[in-house]
Amino acid sequence: MAATTTQAGAGPAILDQGYLREQTRLEKLVGPEWYNLMRGLVTNPLTVAGLLLVLMFVLTAVFAPTLAPAPNEFWDPYRIPRDGFRPEPTPPGTPWDMNVPSYIPAWYSIVTGNEEWVHLLGTTSGQYDIWYGIVWGTRTALIAGTIVALASVAVGVILGGLAGYYGGWLDEVLMRVVEIFIAFPFLVGALILASLLTPIFGRSIVPTVLALIIFGWTAYARLIRGDILATKEREYVTAARASGANDLHLMTRHVLPNAIFPTMVRLSLDFGAVVLSFAALSFLGVGVPEGYADWGQIISFARSWILSLDTHWYIIVFPGLALLLYGLAWNLIGDGLRDILDPQMRGSK
Amino acid sequence: MVAYIIRRLLILPVILVGVTILIFAMLQVLGPVERSALYVKDVPKTQNQIDSVIRRYGLDKPVHIQYWRWLVGTKDPVSGETVGGILRGDFGYSRTGGEDVVDLLKRRFPATLELALWSMVPIIGFGIYLGIVSALNHNKPIDQVSRVFAIIGWSFPTFVFGLLMILVFYAKLGWFEPGRLSIQFGREVMGPAFTRYTGMNTVDSLLNLRFDIFLDAVKHLFMPVVTLSVVIVALMLKITRSSMLEVLRQDYVVTARAKGLQEKVVVNRHVRRNALIPVITVAGFTLAGLLNGAVTTEVIFNYPGIGAAAADAALSLDVLTMLGITLFTAFIFVFANLIVDILYGVVDPRVRLS
């Protein structure tokens, strides 16, 4: 493997598992490391399953307005329409009387053979439609999850990168700060902070998102710092430094690209994990207001129906399944990435 | 190794002070009136009373003076006695608990500890055991089944799993019920005939020779313990399995086999011991997982531990209770991680030498 180069398009032929072969076009474009990564992702059936599940969720979020139309054009789509106010949940297939979606989409009559809207997955306590909540909740999950994961990784990589690259007192101070944050159990810390932020920002996704970022970046800072410490001592970095490259160039072109892979594994796992944490906080009643399209929020209604959960199984099974599949999808992708990027794990599958 | 431990012990106070500063910073979202609950139990009603409380306890003083008073307490100018001060064990009054935060922690922590300790049974019994079995039967059916279980169990949101447990075992089958004890026993353990040694029902009932209470407590612990441990069991299984597989490939294992040692001896003496070292490193993570999971688990099963207390306090913005619990769990966490790090050095000679 020694003959592989890190510069894209540098050579037409590369050594692959002992054989000399022509570089494909894609390989030239993205470079051999990224090429191997992408090839590994699409050849592992479990990872493919994960990618397909994520694709399904993305499509659901994109087509949410057709899958679950709002009752009218002035309606805030993230508010789940309620069909009355009765506390007793109603089972799947119950006719929809009040706040009915504004039109019948083509897919609806084909799939159900029905010309009137019914509650496809039933309603939860307070007559909130579960299907609508799950569909629009997918958007909430993707938006909140992406913001939290990307913001945490950005803050973590910048601070951890500075600490690892420059070392010295900056490293000492930043790592002590990280240790202070890590002293809090993640969910307990985020729960407390989110509830303190709620009076300031109002009931929305903002308090929870902020709290998850504030307690989430530290893991990345620790991870990237360790990897940068290891990478910056490598010969090619010394060589680049000797040839007069400045810090910014060294960092962005030589150190970071080679130290970033463990962070990417963690990021892909976190895309699912932060949504699970977000849902857990909404379930506990922190953050989004009642009736907001969010999976944890829908499930929280089940808390008052503990005694008759066997009759009202649909109020937890459907939203719970959405959440489980979402977490599962990212875990499958993350596991696949780890197998590709961690040479020690190779062959132990 | 000694130098490492000394370094860790020297950093410890820095971390603990940092934790208190962070918590004090969170306390600043409160106005002086609410903060007066740090010192007086009934929040004053009239403007005059409010002003006098604020003056008396210096709640309008600069932040660093307030922080110091919050740490060590402040002298009441009228009665002359010292009030408040988290270092004196005074975290203020818990509005949701209806008692001092310290009393709330004392009463509720044993319940959470009991839950966490019982969760170690499936974590070690299933997680580590299945991980070893899975690696020794690499790619055989038992291995495949445990891997599927690991990936699904690891993805399961704790609160969804808990609700499904309730659906099946409580609503449908009626085998177990939420809560910590049945009503008649709950009253009895609080009564004079029952000595509370530890605050943990399963331990105390045995010490009092009340096996009926012991069985009742175990029955109530079943659902929360399974719910709390399922994620960690899955994680333990994964870590143990991959660690075992790695050790099985090492040269010294091949040598041991080549010497003609029995497979049982190879596994027991050479493989298992070394493979369990990484498992210790995640012990700290296990504790974090237990504390995180305890919040939703205790809420779902109506189990009176500190997790449920934290959730109650968060919902009604009972800041003193929230911060008291956070500070308490953070301190536990810091010390536990220190012990794990030292233990790791003791167990793994490679760490000790470097």
Closest CA to A63 of A128, A136, A160, A118: A136
Is the model's pLDDT at A71 over the cut of 80? yes
Whether residue A302 and residue B163 make contact (CB cut-off 8 A), yes or no, is yes
Q: What is the pLDDT of residue A296?
A: 93
How far apart are the C-alpha atoms of A136 and A141, rounded to whole Å?
9
Binned at pLDDT 50, 70 and 90, residue A323 comes out as very high
Is the model's pLDDT at A94 over the cut of 80? yes
Q: Look up residue A283 and give its amino acid.
A: F
How far apart are the C-alpha atoms of A128 and A116, rounded to whole Å?
18
How far apart are the C-alpha atoms of A277 and A212, rounded to whole Å?
8
More reliable by pLDDT, B71 or A52: A52
Q: Look up residue B53 and give its amino acid.
A: V
Whether residue B18 and residue A177 make contact (CB cut-off 8 A), yes or no, is yes
Q: Cβ contacts (< 8 Å) between A301 and chain B: which residues?
A: none
Structure tokens at B109: 């922590």
φ/ψ of A57, rounded to 5, equals -65, -40
Q: What is the pLDDT of residue A271?
A: 93
Whether residue A320 and residue B29 make contact (CB cut-off 8 A), yes or no, is no
Q: What is the pLDDT of residue A300?
A: 92
- Please give the C-alpha separations between residue A201 and each of A86, A147, A204, A208, B31, in angstroms, as whole numbers: 31, 17, 8, 10, 17
Q: Which of A196-205, B270-279, B298-307, B341-350 has the highest mean pLDDT?
A: B298-307
Whether residue B329 and residue A332 make contact (CB cut-off 8 A), yes or no, is no
Closest CA to A130 of A313, A272, A329, A276: A313
Whether residue A284 and residue B158 make contact (CB cut-off 8 A), yes or no, is no
pLDDT digits (tens, 9 = 90+) for B151-190: 899 899 999 999 999 999 988 888 988 888 888 887 877 8
User: Taking CA atoms, what residue in B is nearest to A346?
Assistant: B246
Structure tokens at B52: 């006098």
- Determine the distance in angstroms separating the CA of A332 from the nearest CA of chain B, rounded to an integer: 8
Say which residue the tokens 């408040």 belong to. B84
Q: How many CB atoms lie within 10 A of CB A258?
A: 18
User: Taking CA atoms, what residue in A is nearest to B168?
Assistant: A310
Q: Mean pLDDT check: name the lowest of A238-242, A263-267, A302-306, B85-89.
A: B85-89
More reliable by pLDDT, A19 or A39: A39
CB of A335 within 8 Å of a chain B CB? The answer is yes
Q: What is the pLDDT of residue B171?
A: 86
- Dihedral of alpha carbons B127, B130, B136, B137, sign: negative
| E strand or H helix at B269 | none
Q: Cβ contacts (< 8 Å) between B291 and chain A: which residues?
A: 185, 187-188
Q: What is the pLDDT of residue B45?
A: 64
- Determine the distance in angstroms separating the CA of A305 from the nearest CA of chain B, rounded to an integer: 10
Between residues 43 and 72 of chain A, which touch chain B (CB distance below 8 Å)? 46
Q: Mean pLDDT check: name the lowest of A140-149, B274-283, B333-342.
A: B274-283
Is the model's pLDDT at A280 over the cut of 90? yes
Closest CA to A259 of A279, A234, A288, A292: A234
Whether residue B314 and residue A192 make contact (CB cut-off 8 A), yes or no, is yes
Binned at pLDDT 50, 70 and 90, residue A322 comes out as very high
Q: What is the pLDDT of residue B39?
A: 67
- The minimal CB distance from B151 to the residues A183, A303, A335 is found for A335
For all residues of chain A together, what is the average pLDDT? Answer: 85
Burial call A76-92: b when 16+ CB within 10 Å, e when fewer:
ebbbbbbbeeeeebbee
Q: Cβ contacts (< 8 Å) between B288 and chain A: which residues?
A: 185-186
CB of B13 within 8 Å of a chain A CB? The answer is no
More reliable by pLDDT, A254 or A124: A124
Whether residue B333 and residue A183 make contact (CB cut-off 8 A), yes or no, is yes
- Determine the distance in angstroms separating the CA of B285 from the nearest CA of chain A, rounded to an integer: 10
* Alpha helices per DSSP H over A167-290: 168-182, 186-201, 206-214, 217-231, 235-242, 247-249, 256-259, 261-284
Closest CA to A220 of A171, A149, A135, A287: A149
Structure tokens at A214: 């504030």
- The minimal CB distance from B157 to the residues A181, A193, A276 is found for A276
- Please give the C-alpha separations between residue B47 and each of A227, B43, B44, B125, in angstroms, as whole numbers: 58, 11, 8, 61
Is the model's pLDDT at A276 over the cut of 90? yes
Whether residue B18 and residue A180 make contact (CB cut-off 8 A), yes or no, is yes
Burial call B104-135: b when 16+ CB within 10 Å, e when fewer:
bbebbbbbbbbbbebbeebbeebbbebbbbbb
Binned at pLDDT 50, 70 and 90, residue A58 comes out as very high
Q: Give the mean model confidence (pLDDT) for residues A271-289.
A: 92
Is the model's pLDDT at A298 over the cut of 90? yes
User: Taking CA atoms, what residue in A is nearest to B173?
Assistant: A310
More reliable by pLDDT, B72 or B299: B299
Q: Cβ contacts (< 8 Å) between A272 and chain B: which residues?
A: 155
CB of B336 within 8 Å of a chain A CB? The answer is no
pLDDT digits (tens, 9 = 90+) for A206-224: 999 999 999 999 989 988 9
Whether residue A308 and residue B15 make contact (CB cut-off 8 A), yes or no, is no
How big is the A-B interface in CB pairs under 8 Å? 150
Binned at pLDDT 50, 70 and 90, residue B349 comes out as low
> How distant is the alpha carbon of residue B345 from its chain centre?
23
φ/ψ of A299, rounded to 5, equals -65, -30
Binned at pLDDT 50, 70 and 90, residue A21 comes out as low
Is the model's pLDDT at A6 over the cut of 60? no
Q: Look up residue B322 and give its amino acid.
A: M
Say which residue the tokens 């993805």 belong to. B155
**DSSP labels for A41-98?**
HHH-HHHHHHHHHHHHHHHHHHTHHHHS--SSTTS-TTBPPBS---SS-B-TTEEP-S
Whether residue B155 and residue A328 make contact (CB cut-off 8 A), yes or no, is yes
How far apart are the C-alpha atoms of A284 and B312, rounded to whole Å?
9
Cβ neighbours of residue B105 closer than 8 Å, sequence gap 6 or more: B91, B306, B324, B325, B328
Whether residue B19 and residue A184 make contact (CB cut-off 8 A), yes or no, is yes
Between residues 183 and 202 of chain A, which touch chain B (CB distance below 8 Å)? 183-189, 191-196, 198-200
| E strand or H helix at A128 | strand A128-129
pLDDT digits (tens, 9 = 90+) for B129-138: 899 889 888 8
Binned at pLDDT 50, 70 and 90, residue A63 comes out as very high
Q: How many CB atoms lie within 10 A of CB B231?
A: 21
Q: Mean pLDDT check: name the lowest of A97-111, A200-214, B68-82, B328-342.
A: B68-82
- Residues in chain B, overall count: 354
SS3 (DSSP) at A161:
helix
Question: What letter would DSSP give residue A332?
Answer: H
Q: Which of A56-60, B98-102, B116-120 has the highest mean pLDDT?
A: A56-60
Q: What is the pLDDT of residue B351?
A: 59
Q: Cβ contacts (< 8 Å) between A323 and chain B: which residues?
A: 157, 160
> How distant is the alpha carbon of residue B215 from its chain centre?
24
- The minimal CB distance from A195 to the residues B292, B314, B325 is found for B314
Whether residue B163 and residue A183 make contact (CB cut-off 8 A), yes or no, is no
- Please give the C-alpha separations between residue B162 and each of A329, B168, B302, B306, B350, in angstroms, as whole numbers: 21, 10, 11, 18, 41
Q: What is the pLDDT of residue A208?
A: 94
CB of A264 within 8 Å of a chain B CB? The answer is no
Inter-helix orientation angle B101-122/B306-315, to 10°: 130
